[in-house]
Chain A
Amino acid sequence: MKVKVKDLKTKDKHIKNLAAIVGGARSILYQETDLLAYDCDGFTIHKHLPKAVVFPKNTQEVAEIVKYCSKNELPFLARGAGTGLSGGAIPLNGEIIISMVKMKKLLSVDLENRRAVVEPGFVNLKLTNSISDKGYYYAPDPSSQSCCTIGGNVAENAGGAHCLKYGVTTNHILGLEVVMPNGEIIEIGQDGIPDAPGYDLLGLITGSEGTLGIVTKITVRILKNPEGKQTVLAYFDSVEDGSQAVSDIISAGIVPAALEMMDKIAIEGVESAAFPVGHPKDIEAVLLIEVDGIAAGINEQIEQILEVCRSRNVREVRAAKNEAERARWWANRKTGFGAMGAISPDYLVQDGVIPRSKLPEVLRKINQISVESGLRIANIFHAGDGNLHPLVLFDSRVSGESEKALEAGSLCLKACADVGGTITGEHGVGIEKREEMRFVFTEEEIAAQTEIREVFNPDNLLNAGKLFPSPSRCVEIKQEMKTQAIS
């Protein structure tokens, strides 16, 4: 195999050495034309070329790459499918990208103990597809699930429409194998056994956006399919009524599997795109409400939901006639982000979270931001858990409009933070929201987090420059003092 290293059209010794680790020229990209595809992820506003992209096939190779990078002080990062929306996989510092796409095996399934072990490059939806014939599924369902990787999901602590009832990725991770930034391999949550004695590193690493280690194996919890499912669609002439219906459903003690909302501009988008379902163009809000569980209990809850919607001046409300209709409604919703492409050359997705009761207030504020910026903002959101996705529509060819879109996005996050919410519910901070971290955390609180990073990633060669705002002087000085005190 190693002979192939000779085929490399480069004199760079690092490229050659890395190629040797992964078994030859075919497992590494290093020419600019090839690297262009890796200069950004789903966050396309920031771009930077990596030094190289390597494709390891197993944990051992990942560990050797990492050791090599660490020894030679080459910055590096992991990349899954590159669907991240906050720029987590962008090689800001000309990193060596360690692509996990060749590590895509489903290693084992243990239905009796409700767990499965996957490699990080395994695509989210494939897991459910592999076990659905036995009546099981993997719960976290990001809209990108047909292409994003479970490794990427762990890094971002991805959520999805059905996380209202079943929780986000972190609630479904039982074990991880991780290559530490110095190349050491550790295993946390062996065999998926819960509550391993010690600090909860599973919980800490999940959602750490690939800055604490590279995940090379994942044990996840799998669930039994619910016996029954029913979905309701409701059209409202005012966003207030729609939001109020959301609150009423929750207050009635119903725990819907999903509770989604789209506003007028979002509806215009999805109806112009690949999966239109005939939503009326003149309504202000559509709700998609799903209840699942024991079939015998579902009708009662659906009746209650219909009742609530009617009491909130719904224009039209009905339950899906059959599975085909239900699937159409969901396809329409789940392709919502991409659908904005049909009505705008570019769009920026934001990801704020608010206490549910502040929905009308924050939507009014977002509308005001739209008016003031002159940019249209569509809203698609997980209303049940208050996770908003304002989609700022813009045209990057118009000079200054990208900046304006970023600014409007940031203001939307400020609006969320101001009512006691947060700046990201599932897409992560990445590059995009680094500065916005200050909306929710003090310098001290940010320092408390970067100090934890230093325990795992002391040289900060792994995915540097993500997640945290550039430290202000005062924090740097404090850290300096601390290092002196310890040494």
Chain B
Amino acid sequence: MITAESMNELKEFIREDLVMAGENEAHPFGNSGHAVVYPESEEDISAILKYANTKGLTITVMGGGTKRGYGGLTETTDILLSLERHRGIVEHTPGDMTLTVKAGTPFKELQDYLAKHKQKISLDPFWPEQATIGGIIAANESGPKRLGYGSARDAVIGLRTVYPDGKVIRSGGKVVKNVAGYDMNKLFIGSMGTLGVVSEVTVKLRPLPKCESLVLVSFPEGHQDKIQPFAVKVLDSMIEPVSLELLNPTLADRLTGQKNYTLVLSFEDVESSVQYQENFIKNILPEGTELKIVSKEEADVFWKKFYHHIPNGAAEITSETEASLKVGSVNLKVLQILKNSELLQDQFNVSVEAHGGLGHGLSQIHIRGAGKDVAAAVTEAREIAEKEGGYAVLKHLPFKLRKEVDVWGKSPSYFFLLQGIKATVDPKKTLNPNRFVGGI
């Protein structure tokens, strides 16, 4: 437990105004700290970790806080380490198409900067203004365009990670191909900050597409049986959509004003190719469905709404309880998972917004309602996922409910390896204790 004395000790090596007392009241999403520290450099991070590790203090790591509701069974650890002041671009080499950046940099800031060089990071996370690159990587967050561009593990080529004992370990490097030693980058991506604090990230970039297009295909009541054959036809064709994301009717209503299952296809390429693909879709459109080729302005509005529709751990607290699940399944099972989760609405008197990628197998289900109803619906949603052979992780839930409903589900058979890795890297469980699978 942190004391006034430790606060003072912290201030001996961290500038005084970067060390503060934590909030008095418990935060509804937990993952708080009795003290809050805002390191401005890797040296700061290293010094804080080393101090905490030696003193047996625990640390919660936070970027923009959008994922504050994602895992964690400790309401308040000793120190909340906020990376919001550890930000900025370290190196951008446009000719090499690589970017090195401090972990606390908000994603949108990076994309806006890169756009001036006609480049981008090929990730499409939620809440990009607040979500930091470090947090996106630690939580392995991905969006619909994962189909075309992959996820964090495909984009990250190098990391600098501060270990709990304060040492800085580099993994990967600044080149796009690298098999020197173990691929340690992979360990930290998706590790929820339980192994080390990522301080710097190097990603490979992509050129901004010359032309982008958004095509919506909606399937009114009575035509839903056409979704699967249509998706299969698209996937088996020569066209290359970067997203093939299915929206459930409630979410489609919010984003498009039409309460039908809707497929979101996006194309990014040179203009002639994009047009060709739009026409291809027009030509294979099933009877009774509606196609809309969305104008540039409308598409911008659509995506903006899309990337801001999910519960956000950094937003104002509402009276409603919100939950989010990330569901993994075999690609085409996404359809069944969305359909079954639709039934939760009446069954539990909750609202369910859901979307999933028919080409990448990840769905997200967002449930809103009264606390008890949400808890019951979430448990049922996991059963839906498991019945289809998949898994469900609760990527957003208030702290109170996290103690009732297991965030990560069953531990894998090889859990001993995960434990072994944690015990090797963070033997004292200094970082994000109990934030991850099986209480890691």
A residues near B (Cβ < 8 Å) are 111-114, 135, 156-157, 159, 163, 167-168, 170-171, 186-188, 190-204, 206-208, 224-227, 247, 250-251, 253-255, 293-297, 300-301, 353-357, 382, 385-387, 420-429, 433, 437, 440-442, 444-446, 448-449, 451-456, 467-468, 486
Contacts and interface: CB of A to CB of B under 8 A. Distances in A.
Nearest to B185: A203
21 contacts: A156-B179, A168-B177, A194-B328, A195-B326, A203-B189, A207-B182, A207-B183, A250-B95, A251-B94, A293-B273, A297-B272, A353-B175, A353-B176, A354-B175, A422-B173, A422-B180, A423-B180, A426-B179, A441-B170, A448-B184, A454-B424
A300 B362 contact: no
Nearest to B140: A195
B179 A424 contact: yes
Interface string B338-369: 00000000000000000000011110000000
A198 B96 CA distance: 32
Interface in B374-419: 389-391, 393, 408-409, 411-415, 417-418
Contacts of A202: 186
Nearest to A300: B270
Contacts of B92: none
A170 B175 CA distance: 16
A449 B174 contact: no
A192 B174 contact: no
Interface stretch (B12-20, B54-62, B235-243): B235-243
B93 A357 contact: yes
A448 B427 CA distance: 13
Given A113-B332, A451-B425, 10 more contacts: A157-B183, A194-B328, A195-B328, A198-B415, A198-B436, A198-B437, A200-B189, A226-B238, A440-B173, A441-B180
Contact of B167 (A440, A444, A449): A444
Contacts of B150: 167, 171
Across the A-B interface, the 4 shortest Cβ-Cβ residue pairs: A203-B186, A297-B273, A253-B207, A227-B238
Interface of B: 93-98, 118, 140, 150-151, 153-154, 163, 167, 169-171, 173-187, 189-191, 195, 206-208, 210, 232, 235-240, 269-270, 272-277, 326, 328-332, 359-362, 389-391, 393, 408-409, 411-415, 417-418, 420-421, 424-425, 427, 436-437
Pick from A357, A422, A446, A453 the residue with the most CB of B within 10 Å: A422
Contacts of A135: 236, 238
B245 to A, nearest CB: 15
A451 B426 CA distance: 12
A386 B269 contact: no
A454 B238 CA distance: 46
A355 B174 contact: yes
Given A207-B183, A486-B427, A193 B329 contact: yes
A197 B414 contact: no
B181 A426 contact: no
A204 B418 CA distance: 12
Contacts of A486: 427
Nearest to A294: B273
A352 to B, nearest CB: 9
A36 B427 CA distance: 45
B281 to A, nearest CB: 13
Nearest to A226: B238
Residue from A195, A226, A429 whose CB has the most chain B CB atoms within 10 Å: A195
Contacts of B175: 353-355, 385-386, 420-422, 425
Contacts of B96: 355-357, 386
A206 to B, nearest CB: 7
Nearest to A416: B175
B93 to A, nearest CB: 6
Interface of B is mostly: loop
Contacts of B412: 188, 196-198
Contact of A452 (B182, B238, B389): B182
A294 B332 contact: no
A446 B171 CA distance: 10
A426 B177 contact: yes
A465 to B, nearest CB: 15
Given A357-B96, A486-B427, A297 B270 contact: yes
Contacts of A468: 181
Nearest to A482: B427
B235 A112 contact: yes
Given A355-B96, A357-B93, A208 B182 contact: yes
Given A251-B94, A294-B276, A193 B391 contact: yes
A295 B409 CA distance: 45
Contacts of B180: 422-424, 429, 433, 437, 440-441
A355 to B, nearest CB: 4
A201 B414 contact: yes
B232 A199 contact: no
Contacts of B93: 355, 357
A159 B177 contact: yes
Given A224-B238, A357-B95, A427 B417 contact: no
Contacts of B270: 297, 300-301
B353 to A, nearest CB: 20
